[in-house]
Chain A
């Protein structure tokens, strides 16, 4: 069994829904169980990325808001 990967996605300065689109496109290249850390500056992601995770069966691990930056970690679920 291969180790789960941890990847980082920089969406800083992108405005919603682009951070969601970039996340979606990145996750399509990943395996179930892998983790993705998304760096963002648009506060809309605080609602949008969790909603996108719920819809598509991915796990929201954490949301960390620091100054002007938001860091979100998700774990890729099973993709159909």
Chain B
């Protein structure tokens, strides 16, 4: 059995001297499938480098970084971890701006939530293809498996990705290649099709067996993928944001905010983002120049931001709501500081709302 940590370019199987070593760029998500896809190619002496895209919706990172309770958990970027196990370089690319087009107007529509999986995969393969051409690599690989995902990993949608990305037959899926038409790397003899695999379906046992064969004992198994857009609660917040603004747009700060705090919308034109714990309070405090903020000062309580436009009556309601989430929730009056973006502040003395005063529909 090979030790993953000792597997580097210099220790890969030698290719014949009269053949140039072929180079593949792999989409590395940090999950098991892409880890295995790379290793399968390394077994054939292919030089592989990884590429990982930051869309803004990646599950890794944000909330773990913010919430204090999560700090004690061991934290790692799984794409970097995978690359290190494989002994390959990893190029992490910020595509958050161009990715907006995928999220806002997916040609193939959304999945169960606001996940535009088919457009997303096509976009990433297209971006990887551009990187491949720019850096003089020969072909692309992904860890896709037929039938693994209901939208993007089906036998009828995989060719759509190859075609619409422009990658065509330069896109090789090592884990299910035997079930798909021959690609250029196979046809040209850069890789041996016989050594590729025929995985299909949602059963993970073949992948786990292959991982064991390769000596991988520690790998990420994200449930539902690695994207917040597959999450129903997150998608609901994003849909609410679009509805409130009357148009489908977002900035990176918006989508980070959707991962933080309680979101309550008492009126269509504003919502409150209320920190749930100290880590979120510290994080939201950094946004006080970008959002109107409320803070209880007579009692301990979380910081809250207002997204939208609030008039004096709205601020009174918001202050009562914020007071409800403070330690003064049972007090007759709570003093709340309302701070403008420019730092100007005023105090409101308000009676906290009771739990019965807060309709469930306010929770986004």
Contact = CB atoms under 8 A, between A and B. Distances in A.
Contact of A44 (B61, B81, B90): B61
Contacts of B256: 15
Nearest to B93: A21
B65 A51 contact: no
Given A44-B75, A55-B89, A18 B94 contact: yes
A43 B75 contact: yes
A59 interface: no
Contact of A55 (B66, B88, B286): B88
Contact of B80 (A18, A20, A42, A68): A20
Contacts of A47: 75-77
B282 A16 contact: no
B338 interface: no
Interface string A7-42: 000000101111011001000000000000000001
Interface of B is mostly: mixed
A55 B54 contact: no
B65 A17 contact: no
Nearest to A20: B92
Nearest to A54: B84
Contacts of A15: 61-62, 65-66, 256
Contacts of A13: 286
Interface of A is mostly: helix
B89 A56 contact: yes
A48 interface: yes
A20 B89 CA distance: 14
B84 A21 contact: no
B71 A43 contact: yes
A42 B90 CA distance: 21
Interface of A: 13, 15-18, 20-21, 24, 42-44, 47-48, 51-52, 54-56, 68
Interface of B: 52, 54, 58, 60-62, 64-66, 71, 75-77, 79-81, 83-84, 88-94, 256, 282, 286
User: Which 3 A-B residue pairings sit nearest by Cβ, starting from the closest?
Assistant: A16-B61, A51-B80, A42-B65
17 contacts: A15-B65, A17-B54, A17-B77, A17-B79, A20-B77, A20-B92, A21-B94, A24-B92, A43-B75, A44-B64, A48-B77, A48-B80, A51-B77, A51-B84, A52-B80, A55-B90, A68-B282
